[in-house]
Structure 1
Amino acid sequence: MATSRRRPSRRPAPEGRRRPAPQRPAEPGPVLELDVERIAHGGVAVARHDGRVVFVADAIPGERVRAQVTDAARDRFWRAETLEVLGASPDRREHVWAEASVDRAPEDRAGGAEFGHIAMRRQRELKAEVLRDALARMGGVERDVEVRAVDPALAPGVDVEEGTGWRTRVRLHVDAEGVVGPYAARSHRVVPVASLPLAVAELEEIAPLAGGARRAGAAAEASSIDLVAPSGGRAELVVHAARDRRPEHPPTVVERVGDRSFTLDRGGFWQVHRGAASTLTLAVQAAIDADRFDPDAENQDLYGGVGLLAAAVGDRFGPSTRITTVEADARATEHAGANLADWVGARAVPERVDRYLDRLAGATDGATRGLRGATVVLDPPRAGAGRTVVDRLAELRPAQVVYVACDPVALARDVATFRAHGYELETLEAFDLFPNTHHVEAVARFAAIV
């Protein structure tokens, strides 16, 4: 979420192509008939067997399935995978990715499209249920929320109704025998595939898939293969050998959002959905309360990457807006400085967010007072901002905080911490930036209740 998200992607540490991948348990557990009750965080459904919770993959609430237990090591719950659907939900459809279908053996199902068997409308409803539940249980907030599809006008070439053709970045893996493909679901076993329906068309055309003419050459001596389709250039296939090191000056690509261009490292972080950067730009701009915004305050863009959301703030409030973007990755920060050159009040700081906030908290009274009228935008990793960052940020008392979140549980934990400091959740919007997966993006605004 999907992929993993959030900070600039880095190649895996050298590990050798012949390191054995994790395997499923040699001794399978029992086969059960289960009535599926609800969806859980992580893309699995919840059923019960003799009072024990069973998390079952590839099922939909309301269905009855026959499932193989794959993990019975815990007393409180088991994990299982659907083998057969005995009573299908009206929301079940033919999987958008044939190689991930329940018709295949569980160990051969491609990972990364765990909701692909569910109608799009129902997918978004389930994601909203998970977000609402997390906010209520962990954040102490009862909040209705709707997960909205990406506006087709922001995502040319994407099939919004099918949830396909949206991924602009795909990583394929290469096993010891040279097989190219994604990992199987919940595994590090490479499975060959003949299609990549979630990828944009440009990537499907160049992907070295099973039976393709490019397969053997692309896989030679490779440990992984990245497919990248930037909006500002041609699609590229990048082969990584096991002993590759990150070059001192990596190749760059250009991404376009509206009339603006953003330069970043080809392997650096960028939102993977073709329409995500534009969607989040508009959502963050809308989330900021203009009555609380002071263009002369020490406004902040934390976990800022290459400056996308700092630019969103500047575009809404004008080129003289003061804003500091903070990012631990030095290369991303270097690009952010160049990407924000239009704003005379913008600066880019290469530093970890927690250390940066510690410095602000220890600064002179003048600097601290400057943050008191500020607007803070933050887009943390999947694990969330966390207590240390939220505690420090709340201590600095900004006027408002706009939080971009890609994990409902992490957001809910941070909601609880903000509330403990007197910052309440005022607005919340959610977007389906990862169709056919369980991932969801949310944009929240917090403000201190006086």
Structure 2
Amino acid sequence: MGDMQGHDVELDVTSIAHGGISVARLDGRVVFVTDAIPGEKVVARITDDRKKSFWRADTVSVLEPSEHRQAHVWSAASIDRDPARRAGGAEFGHIELSHQRELKRQVLVDALTRMGKVDEETTKGITVEALDGDDDLSGTRWRTRIRLHVDEAGRPGPYAARSHTVVAVDDLPLATEAVEAAAPLEQLFAGEEQIDVLAPSDGGARLIVGSQARTTVVERVGDREFRLDDGGFWQVHRLAAGTLTAAVQDLIDPERFDPRAMNLDLYGGVGLLAAAVGDRFGQATRITSVESDTRATDHAAENLAEWIGAAAVTGRVERWITELATTSSPGERQRLRDATVVLDPPRSGAGREVVERIASIEPAQIVYVACDPVALARDIALFAERGYQLQDLRAFDLFPNTHHLETVVRLSR
């Protein structure tokens, strides 16, 4: 270790970086600093000085606050607490909500232009859209699912920011009221590692202690019901599933959509986006949803049962799409060229192998749902190498008071 770790320094904060941290300079050196806002002068404690190229630091006090600074929406994460004991998961909670969205827009535009090689003209009109009701609630009360970790003494709580230290809290303001009310913050769970608290559309809140047996829950999007395991993946914001359904329906170019083609929904989960496509283009829509989790695929088959041409298959997307690309008959190849491919990969993105396989089947259009702007930008650059250009984009603030955002794009040749 160097000799600066644990020391407090004054920093001028210049810009935002991906990951909810700000960029500052100290004698020409880059310092990544938490709990700050671009434009501020802060006192920060150096937490990592091992690298020559940059250091890391936590803000401990603010000398010149931004006009966008507010009292933190979660006192457990506030700057008044020792950085090692600040609750994680609300790293933008000290920033006024509309400015959070502006910072997210900057991160997205920066990723698209620098890594995605998208020209600046294309990024001009980008905004990060708010979801209904979030402004009235200052970006709180949206999480329908929350994970608590258990400390040595058995007490549940969130991890501290950027560590695996469990911190005791007495409220969970980002959680919906039902989730907060059900969270057993005062109980002890000796010997357990984690507690999941969720409040699906139907049947009230529930806890999953450790790796308890799974039960099925129902989530509603508009008039449609989706069944899934209580511990299975579902969008966290109370309005996220409906927002993404509408966004995917909106971004598919109907001129390029063929209901009889071999349309694909990759990383399909329990069938949310395949159903969005089916609802937009009708009963005759053919679409295959591909998901590696067997339980999710079983639910997807049931959730998509009303479309005769819908299928849910279990498979790792990389392997499945490779097989499809290499074994399809001439007739299938034509139906793939007419296809719309929807994909919603994990945070790490689709990556080169999957991008190249998708591009090799030459689909009519690709609609990509991304929860990480940097991974998305890398994949956009890879698609561009294969002739697929960004045609349209919408970005959504599905995770208020955190640095995360969701982006949906359409690519075509």
Q: TM-score, normalising length from structure 1?
A: 0.89
Deviation string 1:99-140 (CA, Å, 9 cap, x unpaired) is 000011101100000000000000000000000000000011
- Report the counterpart of residue 228 of structure 1 in structure 2: 198
Cα distance in 1 between the residues matched to 2:98 and 2:272: 29
Deviation at 1:271, TM superposition (A): 0.2
Q: Greater shift after overlay, 83-92 or 24-33? A: 24-33
What residue ranges of structure 1 are gaps of 5+ in the alignment? 1-23, 153-157
The answer to whether residue 242 in structure 2 is matched with residue 278 in structure 1 is yes
- Report the counterpart of residue 414 of structure 1 in structure 2: 379
What is the letter of the counterpart of residue 127 of structure 2? E
Contact 1:174 1:190 in 2 (8 A): yes
Deviation at 1:161, TM superposition (A): 4.6
- Report the counterpart of residue 161 of structure 2 in structure 1: 185
Deviation string 1:336-394 (CA, Å, 9 cap, x unpaired) is 00000110110001001111111111122222221000001000000001110001100
- Report the counterpart of residue 9 of structure 1 in structure 2: none
What residue ranges of structure 2 are gaps of 5+ in the alignment? none
Deviation at 1:57, TM superposition (A): 0.1
Cα distance in 2 between the residues matched to 1:26 and 1:277: 49
Contact 2:5 2:49 in 1 (8 A): no
Contact 2:155 2:190 in 1 (8 A): no
Of 32, 38, 42, the residue aligned with 1:65 is 42
Of 127, 130, 139, the residue aligned with 2:104 is 127
Of 24, 42, 49, the residue aligned with 2:19 is 42
Cα distance in 1 between the residues matched to 2:365 and 2:2: 49
Of 36, 58, 63, the residue aligned with 1:86 is 63
What is the letter of the counterpart of residue 313 of structure 1? V
The answer to whether residue 83 in structure 2 is matched with residue 106 in structure 1 is yes
Cα distance in 2 between the residues matched to 1:68 and 1:354: 43
- Report the counterpart of residue 220 of structure 2 in structure 1: 256
Q: Secondary structure at the match of 1:202?
A: helix
- Report the counterpart of residue 52 of structure 2 in structure 1: 75
Q: How does 1:433-444 map to 2 (within 5 A)?
A: 433-444=398-409
Residues 1:325 and 1:26: Cα distance change in structure 2 (over 3 Å): farther
Contact 2:2 2:49 in 1 (8 A): no
Cα distance in 1 between the residues matched to 2:37 and 2:305: 49
Cα distance in 2 between the residues matched to 1:333 and 1:26: 53
Cα distance in 1 between the residues matched to 2:281 and 2:175: 35
The answer to whether residue 132 in structure 2 is matched with residue 151 in structure 1 is yes
- Report the counterpart of residue 335 of structure 1 in structure 2: 299
Shift >2 Å, 4+ stretches: 24-30, 158-161
Cα distance in 2 between the residues matched to 1:334 and 1:180: 32
Contact 1:159 1:165 in 2 (8 A): no
Cα distance in 2 between the residues matched to 1:207 and 1:329: 27
Deviation at 1:204, TM superposition (A): 1.0
Q: Percent identity?
A: 62
The answer to whether residue 94 in structure 2 is matched with residue 117 in structure 1 is yes
Bigger relative contact order, structure 1 or 2 (CA pairs below 8 A, ≥6 apart): 1
Q: TM-score, normalising length from structure 2?
A: 0.96
Cα distance in 2 between the residues matched to 1:431 and 1:392: 28
Contact 1:120 1:161 in 2 (8 A): no
Q: Secondary structure at the match of 2:246?
A: helix
Contact 2:32 2:55 in 1 (8 A): yes
The answer to whether residue 324 in structure 2 is matched with residue 360 in structure 1 is yes
Cα distance in 2 between the residues matched to 1:223 and 1:429: 38
- Report the counterpart of residue 264 of structure 2 in structure 1: 300
Deviation at 1:177, TM superposition (A): 1.5
Q: Paired residues, what number?
A: 408
Deviation at 1:151, TM superposition (A): 2.5
Q: CA RMSD in A?
A: 1.5
Contact 1:150 1:160 in 2 (8 A): no
Residues 1:159 and 1:238: Cα distance change in structure 2 (over 3 Å): farther
Q: Secondary structure at the match of 1:362?
A: helix
Deviation at 1:223, TM superposition (A): 1.4
Contact 1:327 1:333 in 2 (8 A): yes
What is the letter of the counterpart of residue 205 of structure 1? A
The answer to whether residue 356 in structure 2 is matched with residue 386 in structure 1 is no
